Amino acid sequence: MANRKYIVGNWKMNGLRAQLSDIAAIAAIAANHDDADVGICPPVTLITAAVQANPDFAIGAQDCHFAESGAHTGCLSAVMLKEAGASYSILGHSERRADQQEGDAEVKAKAEAVRAAGMGVIICVGETEEERDAGQAIEIVTVQLARSFPAGASADWLTIAYEPIWAIGTGRVPEVSDVAEMHAAIRVKLGELMGQGSDAVRILYGGSMNGSNAAELLAVPNVDGGLVGGASLTAAKFAPIIEAAAEA
């Protein structure tokens, strides 16, 4: 049986209080499409206000420190994010792996910390263009997944997002056959890593998903949803993706 579709908007470093109205509009659209799960990960500064204004809508964080507290200037722990209102966090996004030099072991530790706080986890994996051109994409991504994989994984709190780095913010999307091949490989690897229950772990596609290509991408076997950047920033752009997921 196909998994229920899951669409998450990653706002990255975008959004001031003026954009809370977009979150409210997106939450209202999501409430009218209860055949799919929908969430938004705004900057931390908006989490509490977003949750207070939209208590039934799933607001998440974009990163988290692996420690519970301590001398880590500028960082936030899972319990802090949970107290702020986040119910899950994106982890290991390629922008953090590149900008903050996050490695797989750190992503794994973060995932375990977020889980320990009772939150959900979305772990991102993906290859560079050079790696794809060299025919290494599947090897790179499945090894990244295995090394980033948290202990005790279960589909009720873990989601994987496949985001080819060269497709993020570029308007370029892989061939549907390449998406199908990668998602199938991730599904097989999840089976090796966790055995029973792995089929229920949702695997999202991310990278230039928009209202025009969402239906085609969401129809690919093992594509259980999308992690959406630019096209999640306004309700007008995000709505057709939510609609495509609810109809998929």
Would you name the residues annotated as active-site residues? 93, 163
Please list, in sequence order, all residues whose beta carbon lies within 8 angstroms of the beta carbon of residue 225, skipping any fewer than 6 positions away.
5, 6, 7, 8, 36, 37, 159, 202, 204, 205, 218, 245
DSSP three-state, residue 141? helix
Exposure of 114 in the CB half-sphere (CA atoms within 13 A): 32
Q: Which stretch binds ligand 13P (CB under 6 A): 49-57, 150-158, 176-184, 223-231?
A: 223-231
Interface with ligand 13P, residue 10, by CB under 6 A: yes
Query: What's the number of CA atoms in the CB half-sphere (13 Å) around residue 185?
Result: 20
Minimal distance in Å, beta carbon 68 to ligand 13P?
A: 26
> Which CA distances in Å does 103 have to 43, 122, 123, 141?
22, 16, 12, 13
Q: Which is nearer to ligand 13P, 198 or 213 (CB)?
A: 213
Residue placing its CB nearer to ligand 13P in the complex, 163 or 243: 163
Does 172 engage in binding with ligand 13P (CB under 6 A)? no
Site string for ligand 13P, 132-171 (x = CB under 6 A): -------------------------------x----xx--
Q: Which is nearer to ligand 13P, 126 or 194 (CB)?
A: 126
The set of residues, in sequence order, having a beta carbon less than 8 Å from that of 148 and lying 6+ positions away, is 92, 104, 107, 108, 111, 123, 125
Q: Which of 39, 92, 174, 206 binds ligand 13P (CB under 6 A)?
A: 206
209 is an interface residue for ligand 13P by CB under 6 A: yes
- Cβ proximity to ligand 13P: between 36 and 228 the closer is 228
* 229 makes contact with ligand 13P (CB under 6 A): yes
Does 85 engage in binding with ligand 13P (CB under 6 A)? no
Cβ proximity to ligand 13P: between 21 and 170 the closer is 170
Residues in 18-57 at the binding interface with ligand 13P, rule: CB under 6 A: none
| DSSP character string of 59-123 | E-BS---SSSSSS-TT---HHHHHHHT-SEEEES-HHHHHHS---HHHHHHHHHHHHHTT-EEEE
3-state secondary structure of 170: coil
Check binding of 230 to ligand 13P (CB under 6 A): yes
Residues in contact with ligand 13P by the rule CB under 6 A: 10, 93, 163, 168-169, 206-209, 227-231
